[in-house]
Amino acid sequence: MANTTRLPMIWQFALALAVLLVTLAQTTPVHGAVSQPTPLSGNARPVIEQFLLRQTSGLPGRVVITLNTPQSGALPPCAAVEPFLPGGARLWGRVSVGVRCSQDQPWTRYVPAYIAVMGSYRVAARPISAGQAVMPEDSTERQGDLTTLPGSVVRHAAQLHGMVAVNGMASGAPIRQELLRAVDLVRQGQTVKVVTQGAGFLVSSVGKAMTDSAVGETVQVKMQGGQLLSGTVRPDGTVERPN
């Protein structure tokens, strides 16, 4: 009977303890938590932005620049800051931009920046199987930050002309150049015309291709006399020998 009368008090104590623990968890700072970067302020900001815009004028897309305050704190006052790029810096994605001041008390700081390049690229419009010829309707255009994508991503539909998928691709996946190969224009054993062209002359002969080859690739051709020659496959299917 005694246990029955004490049970409600035990539950009340447990509930009060649970509330206290939740309150402490919400009010106690978490050690090691990552703080959000603070946007850079001050008169140096427009100078750095203009410098980066000039440096990135040739990038393939619309450049969006984000500048944050260095971990060492805000930049000291300076009437004429001089932005510069550290050796080997690439203005693509996350970078560090040098800023120096040459006044009475010279200083140098490094400002964290993010260079986003917004542009179009091609993704698979539907699942693409390995060995499948990639047709225009198999891809669609998508906009995004090119700095977050592999450098080999296909950006223009014209790059897919005459291509075959080497590996399968899921619908919506970015199409990369290493996942494609050119369609073989010349087949092993096929009779091909071999052309040698120079200043004021053109010589052509006939032979058999020794391997499958695509446009722009080098192929060996066995001539009628048994001689092996090498040349480059042209878009019209002929093989051009170097002069």
Alpha-carbon gap, residue 165 to 145, rounded angstroms: 24
Alpha-carbon gap, residue 222 to 220, rounded angstroms: 7
CATH for 184-241 (2.30.33.40, 1.20.1440.230, 2.30.30.760, 1.20.1740.10): 2.30.30.760
* Contact between 47 and 101 (Cβ < 8 Å): no
- Residue 208 pairs in a beta bridge with 191, 222
Q: What pLDDT is attached to residue 236?
A: 85
CATH second-level architecture of 118-182? Alpha-Beta Complex (3.90)
Which residue has tokens 């620049």? 65
Domains in the chain: boundaries: 44-117, 118-182, 184-241
Residue type, 81: V
Q: What pLDDT is attached to residue 193?
A: 92
Q: What pLDDT is attached to residue 91?
A: 94
Q: What pLDDT is attached to residue 13?
A: 60
Helix (H, G, I), strand (E, B) or coil at 168: coil
Q: What DSSP line would sit under 78-125, residue for residue?
A: -SS-EEE--TT--SSEEEEEEEEE-SSS-EEEEEEEEEEEEEEEEEES
pTM of the complete model: 0.67
Mean pLDDT by 10 residues, the chain (243 residues): 52 58 50 69 93 94 96 91 92 96 91 97 96 92 97 94 92 96 89 87 90 88 91 89 83
